[in-house]
Structure 1
């Protein structure tokens, strides 16, 4: 990506996080980038265009590539996932310099803003949800076949427990805390619950 374009996206994302889509003005965006109005508008013609690009850029950066995780062991898969997620959550600080590290309430608000401004953005989120569910189901199916786990729950039910637990912990900690150690809190709590659930699945 062009360095100037990337600079604009990061500055914009930070502003949208700190404030909100409605509160941020184009004049403020131009000022914060330190660019001339003409140079700025060369890359982005409207706030809507910039907002969508900033959201997409961030989503692309933090969406897991499930193909890099071990698919032969559920235990290894979810441990690698936590390590990866830890790195991704820390990377959000690169976008939101004025914010605490990790997923914050501001980030969730930003996603809801995107859904209001661009209803089609929901399709992108649903695609990610389906990709994530598929990845979990595949490794869970393999874990059952090789005897790693046993459970009366079907693959999708088990997958949703892992996914929804992750979503719930991240949101709850974001709502309850406002500290720099949020990332480690999420990881520690998540692993504790996932390890316990895994032991139940092992029987």
Structure 2
């Protein structure tokens, strides 16, 4: 017998709480914190608002767990590319290509801008730590390559932030919707080539 008040689960699908988190993250990516209501999340998940509140007692908790979960999924994808038997250069190109296929920029500061006044210090810190962890694998790979003498950098932490900043620039479009890159198919490679020059010995 299921616990009293617990929404029924569907064994053929992802658990309800996980579906809520993934759906909420998608909504928060497109809209601001204020623009997304618990009703919106419930409707998008095809569940009742009571079900959403059963798993996530407050909107701030839902927001925090949705953002942390999203960044954990991105971290897993990044680590997947880093585990491939490729050079660091090729791994960085693959990561950049995957990032550039995501419709919305993964920018923690943008995420939290509209939510910051609602989130607790602990919630803000949890999101920030998830972002740091999201890119930790790249930092470790850059540090290892530096120690092997394959590249040179004085500051791997700075190098990974510079790399991510350059990849984000790849999402930029001007007022006419034009990209900075004429060769859109090789955009990731152009970005990594530019970044790689800063690591050459």
Counterpart of 2:28 in structure 1 is: 16
The 5-angstrom pairing of residues 141-180 of structure 1 reads 141-142=147-148, 144=149, 148=150, 155-157=153-155, 159=156, 162-176=159-173
Counterpart of 1:103 in structure 2 is: 105
| Structure 1 position 167, deviation (Å) | 2.1
Counterpart of 2:46 in structure 1 is: 34
Q: Give me the CA root mean square deviation.
A: 3.6
Counterpart CA distance in 2 for 1:169 and 1:4 is: 37
Counterpart of 1:96 in structure 2 is: none
Aligned residues: 177
| Structure 1 position 114, deviation (Å) | 6.3
| Structure 1 position 79, deviation (Å) | 1.2
Is 2:116 aligned against 1:140?
Answer: no
| Structure 1 position 58, deviation (Å) | 0.9
Aligned pair in 2 of structure 1 residues 114, 186: CA closer, same or farther (>3 Å)?
Answer: farther
TM-score (norm 2): 0.66
Secondary structure of the residue that 1:176 maps to in structure 2?
coil
| Structure 1 position 128, deviation (Å) | 4.9
Match for residue 56 of structure 1 among 68, 80, 84:
68
Quick one: higher RCO (CA 8 Å, sep 6+), 1 or 2?
Answer: 1
Query: 1 or 2, which has the higher helix percentage?
Result: 1
TM-score (norm 1): 0.66
Aligned pair in 2 of structure 1 residues 86, 15: CA closer, same or farther (>3 Å)?
Answer: same
| Structure 1 position 59, deviation (Å) | 0.5
Counterpart CA distance in 2 for 1:58 and 1:195 is: 28
Unaligned runs of 5+ in 2: 1-12
| Structure 1 position 89, deviation (Å) | 4.9
Is 2:93 aligned against 1:82?
Answer: yes
Is 2:192 aligned against 1:188?
Answer: no
| Structure 1 position 161, deviation (Å) | 6.4
Aligned pair in 2 of structure 1 residues 69, 174: CA closer, same or farther (>3 Å)?
Answer: same
Secondary structure of the residue that 1:42 maps to in structure 2?
helix
| Structure 1 position 125, deviation (Å) | 3.3
Is 2:83 aligned against 1:68?
Answer: yes
* Deviation string, structure 1 residues 124-180 (Cα, Å, up to 9, x no partner): 4345555543331122111x2xxx55x6xxx434x3564243222233333435689
| Structure 1 position 185, deviation (Å) | 6.1
The 5-angstrom pairing of residues 102-121 of structure 1 reads 103=105, 109-110=110-111, 112=113, 117=119, 118-121=123-126
